[in-house]
Amino acid sequence: TDKALDRDCTTLSRHVLQQLQSFGPDAQDLSALMNRIALAGKLIARRFSRAGLMEDVLGFTGEVNVQGESVKKMDIYANEVFISVFKQSGLVCRLASEEMEKPYYIPENCPIGRYTLLYDPIDGSSNTDINLSLGSIFSIRQQEGEDLDGQASDLLSNGRKQLAAGYILYGPSTMLVYSIGKGVHFFTLDPSLGEFILTEENVKIPDHGAVYSVNEGNFWQWDEQYREYIRYVHRTEGYTARYSGAMVSDIHRTLVQGGVFLYPGTLQKPEGKLRLLYESAPLAFLMEQAGGRATTGTVDILDVVPKQLHQRTPLIIGSKEDVAKVESFIQKGQ
Ligand code: AHM
Ligand code: MG
């Protein structure tokens, strides 16, 4: 048979069903959920692709979000895209995102909707107005218990509870990368078909890579151990730096080529900038599935139990050997 044609037929929803080797209700749910995430990705990609041509797409809204960060128009648009898309799914009762202080309930889906979506609608917002790569990050959890008080306290559990996680990368092409705990898979949006098509299955990260990815502008705000690590990298042959301002693109490069991405605590943000539940944990889930690692420096990210929905965490993520190298400096400093 025609290999290219075979490949073109492996759409995302079909792939989920194949992975689960089942067409049972749980598999159908996950497949439908992934299909919805793909739709959100397509809507956001469509808006990005014409952003400069349309009014009211770029720039700030003038508001400040729960995190104290200025909100961009695209942050709001993308946040609402996910809500609208999941309103119609029936499967999700709650959504929690970077842009909303409290979880958003979809009363018409509760209590039947058994899943919760955690997401960062736009990762790397500062790239929005300059036409550089951006992402969306998502994580799906099964709702545990009834959530009678509307506090969503069952979400405050470790990252191993994630059923599925992944990201959408809005780059020269739009990609969707996901895992349901059975390896990591790359899909590329074919705009002429309007479908995400499987382009690489069971991606494995190299055990070591040349790239270190960190905002060195924060150098004097880090703990000394991190400075020592960077000094080591500077004096050792074979390292090179890349930092895009959008973690999704940096992590994507890291998955493909190996290396390490870091966002340590700073003086201003002692726990770093990244949020555990909808940024670090989903990416850690992918990284472990690809044979890499993710840690706070002392604890595996997937073992951290958050106390709050928007809790931040330091993040060191990437190739096994490179993460271990950073850890060795952190341990020396303790
Ligand atoms: P955002 O979700 O508000 O865009 O913040 C997350 C982003 C990451 O994508 C990126 O790695 C980091 O923030 C960049 O922050 P900084 O400019 O402090 O290096
Ligand atoms: Mg973010």
Centre of ligand 1 to C-alpha 255, Å, is 18
pLDDT of residue 36: 97
- Contact 273 CB / ligand 1 (< 6 Å): yes
Please state whether beta strands 115-123 and 92-97 pair in parallel, antiparallel, or not at all (unpaired): parallel
Global model pTM greater than 0.90: yes
Neighbours of 190 (CB within 10 A): 15
Q: What average pLDDT does range 233-260 have in this prediction?
A: 98
Three-state DSSP at 297 gives: coil
Question: Above 90 in pLDDT, residue 288?
Answer: yes
pLDDT of residue 1: 64
Computed over every residue of the chain, the mean pLDDT equals 93
pLDDT of residue 281: 98
18-61 per-position pLDDT tens digit:
988 876 778 899 999 999 999 999 999 999 999 888 888 888 88
Question: Above 80 in pLDDT, residue 3?
Answer: no
- Contact 93 CB / ligand 1 (< 6 Å): no
Q: Which residue has the higher pLDDT, 49 or 145?
A: 49
pLDDT of residue 158: 97
- Contact 258 CB / ligand 1 (< 6 Å): no
- Contact 245 CB / ligand 1 (< 6 Å): yes
150-197 per-position pLDDT tens digit:
778 889 999 999 999 999 999 999 999 999 999 999 999 999 999 999
pLDDT of residue 147: 78
Confidence class for position 231, pLDDT limits 50, 70, 90 = very high
Confidence class for position 94, pLDDT limits 50, 70, 90 = very high
- Binding-site residue positions for Mg(2+): 98, 120, 122-123, 279
Confidence class for position 137, pLDDT limits 50, 70, 90 = very high
Q: What token pair was written down for 191?
A: 């705009």
Q: What token pair was written down for 278?
A: 């909808």
Secondary structure of 158-217 in the HEC alphabet? CHHHEEEEEEEEECCCEEEEEECCCCCEEEEEECCCCEEEEEECCCCCCCCCCEEECCHH
Instruction: List the residue whose alpha carbon is closest to atom 13 of ligand 1.
Output: 124
Whether omega for the bond prior to residue 282 falls within 30 degrees of 0, making it cis, is no
Q: What average pLDDT does range 240-261 have in this prediction?
A: 98
Ligand nearest to the CA of 125: 1
Confidence class for position 113, pLDDT limits 50, 70, 90 = confident
Confidence class for position 67, pLDDT limits 50, 70, 90 = confident
Phi and psi based region of residue 153 (left: phi greater than 0; alpha: psi -120 to 50; beta: remaining): alpha
